[in-house]
Structure 1
């Protein structure tokens, strides 16, 4: 019975191709051409050519009627019809086939996270949806606003992974936009992604273990503090950030920064590049014995925090920690920068 069902499914797929071929052999109408121009940043002639080529290709990727029905509402809201979405899937597959499948950052000392870029938006990559199609992304990339060299407002899309940058370049070449030179800006910033219902990420702690899980899914559970957008928030700083002149300059403070002597547990202080300080997780068995001395500093708002994250670069990430203040005989829930690469 299973073999019979498989055969029926295969016949259904082929019948879909045959039906579509017989129904769509005419030249594309203006509405279809305009749809493809909008979705894929094609010129009118490029759109017409791609539509005709797709309709004549017996081996092209196609969705069954039932398969399209499952996603039709969502995709039609994004501007697709079935034929256009099949083309988007083909573009995504082609982009991945022409790019390096391994992480280009792997094996580089001190780097384990994919590179991040900001792509300046503009024709033919004028919207996040265009970038999504060109890069073969599953979700629409986030958009940021800034100021260009001419002082005018400029929009950017965030691209995570050098392979997607390569996919965009391949897409531009493949679609005839060889004269266009996209502007990619390396975006090196410490990542902050605090889970709202667990302790992840916390220095020296495996939040998946039962003893480290919060008592509830309440964001106010102590294990889930500080929260992602909680300000002011106490940071444990070490290395060059303990230099008042550096911290004052990076945060553009009007007065000298106020430090408090502090220490954290669960981390080890190492180095990378033979000179930079790096706090990493200590082995679980040594959590309470592993102590790092430094200073506590209160970050007042997201602008100050962003400045610190840019200073530390994507070699680090923001993690939760428990900060001990020996002079005040108390502990506070705070944050610190954990190194994410290979140490010396």
Structure 2
């Protein structure tokens, strides 16, 4: 899974740094305001923290290739490379832990609770049992390991669990926590929500209506294998093969869907949104075999997209075959036409 590997690489990337590189350089006003917005600093705090961060010999540095992998999503959230590196640092995590009031913990938002984080098992958190205790987990966390020469272990937690972990960390301790995101998948069990190009709030599309569009044959949240429609970078067999790995053979079938239109975002990425006028989009169909493969796709698309239902028209040697499937709909803002 490319995005997971990229995130794991962040924890190991400490670079040499010249603390005098920025000593005589005035910090741009735009950068100061960015740190005020992202980290809640007053102006003088932002200037001081930026200066101290740039003078830190051991500051975390993200390799350029890794930043290119995740930069579009992080820039959308307001980060540049330097600010995101700071957000991963023990320096910032320690500030968060100190600011947390154990007697009156803040309640994470729904978005925070649904976020995914990788916690490196080291130092104050040597194993899954320690993390389970500190984050107050009801069961041992899922563990992932990298594929490098040395074995690095990461535990997977959500935003609510991360808040508990930071609140319970012993004073003076630190840990490596990497933020990753994936496309949301929230398929209703008893309605057509969400379906591309279909307003499920209309009376005729509600489950109580005898003419409701939803049918039992629509894929459910845990149904595998499941057909997906790809229209952008995923509609490339080489890229898809590298993403899924050798255990998931790739075979794309020419296809189209109805109810959407394509635009671009970040000046180069294709993105699918609703077209309630019945617009047609051409691409390829792909049969996703299991949850592991689907998770790789969701991490690749990031939180800028969500999984929605659609009908996929597969162009086979025997004619057009219509299947109920899924695709990725853009949710992060307005598109360029």
TM-score, normalized by length of structure 1? 0.54
- Structure 1 alignment gaps of length 5 or more: 1-89, 106-112, 133-138
Q: For residue 94 of structure 1, what is the aligned residue in structure 2? A: 104
Alignment partner of 1:226: what SS? coil
Q: Does 1:145 align with 2:143?
A: yes
Q: Give the whole-Å Cα distance in 2 for the aligned partners of 1:203 and 1:103.
A: 23
Q: 1:233 to 1:142 in 2, by over 3 A?
A: farther
C-alpha distance after superposition, 1:63-119 (max 9, x if no partner): xxxxxxxxxxxxxxxxxxxxxxxxxxx95663339xxx99999xxxxxxx9754234
Q: Give the whole-Å Cα distance in 2 for the aligned partners of 1:319 and 1:179.
A: 44
Q: For residue 298 of structure 1, what is the aligned residue in structure 2? A: 287
Matching residue within 295, 317, 325 for 2:306: 317
Contact 1:244 1:256 (C-alpha < 8 Å) held by counterparts: no
Q: Give the whole-Å Cα distance in 2 for the aligned partners of 1:252 and 1:123.
A: 30
Matching residue within 256, 262, 266 for 2:259: 266
Q: Give the whole-Å Cα distance in 2 for the aligned partners of 1:255 and 1:142.
A: 28
Contact 2:304 2:330 (C-alpha < 8 Å) held by counterparts: yes
Alignment partner of 1:323: what SS? strand
Q: Give the whole-Å Cα distance in 2 for the aligned partners of 1:128 and 1:255.
A: 32
Q: For residue 327 of structure 2, what is the aligned residue in structure 1? A: 336
Deviation of 1:292 after TM superposition, in Å, equals 1.1
Contact 1:198 1:223 (C-alpha < 8 Å) held by counterparts: no
Alignment partner of 2:144: what SS? strand
Alignment partner of 1:95: what SS? coil
Contact 2:114 2:159 (C-alpha < 8 Å) held by counterparts: no
Contact 2:116 2:156 (C-alpha < 8 Å) held by counterparts: no
Q: 1:92 to 1:291 in 2, by over 3 A?
A: farther
Contact 1:322 1:334 (C-alpha < 8 Å) held by counterparts: yes
Alignment partner of 1:126: what SS? helix
Q: Does 1:126 align with 2:130?
A: yes
Contact 2:120 2:152 (C-alpha < 8 Å) held by counterparts: no
Q: Does 1:203 align with 2:196?
A: yes
Q: 1:95 to 1:321 in 2, by over 3 A?
A: same
C-alpha distance after superposition, 1:134-182 (max 9, x if no partner): xxxxx9699322237863765432226xxx857854x358xxx331113
Q: Higher helix fraction: Structure 1 or Structure 2?
A: 1
Alignment partner of 2:296: what SS? helix
Alignment partner of 1:279: what SS? strand
C-alpha distance after superposition, 1:222-241 (max 9, x if no partner): 25620112111111001111
Q: 1:256 to 1:128 in 2, by over 3 A?
A: closer
C-alpha distance after superposition, 1:43-62 (max 9, x if no partner): xxxxxxxxxxxxxxxxxxxx
Q: 1:94 to 1:204 in 2, by over 3 A?
A: same
Q: For residue 227 of structure 1, what is the aligned residue in structure 2? A: 220
TM-score, normalized by length of structure 2? 0.55
CA RMSD of aligned residues (A): 3.8
Q: Give the whole-Å Cα distance in 2 for the aligned partners of 1:255 and 1:304.
A: 7
Matching residue within 235, 242, 260 for 2:235: 242
Contact 2:226 2:325 (C-alpha < 8 Å) held by counterparts: yes
Larger radius of gyration: 1
C-alpha distance after superposition, 1:190-213 (max 9, x if no partner): 222222222222112222322223
Contact 1:214 1:223 (C-alpha < 8 Å) held by counterparts: no
Residues 3-82 of structure 1: pairs in structure 2 closer than 5 A: none
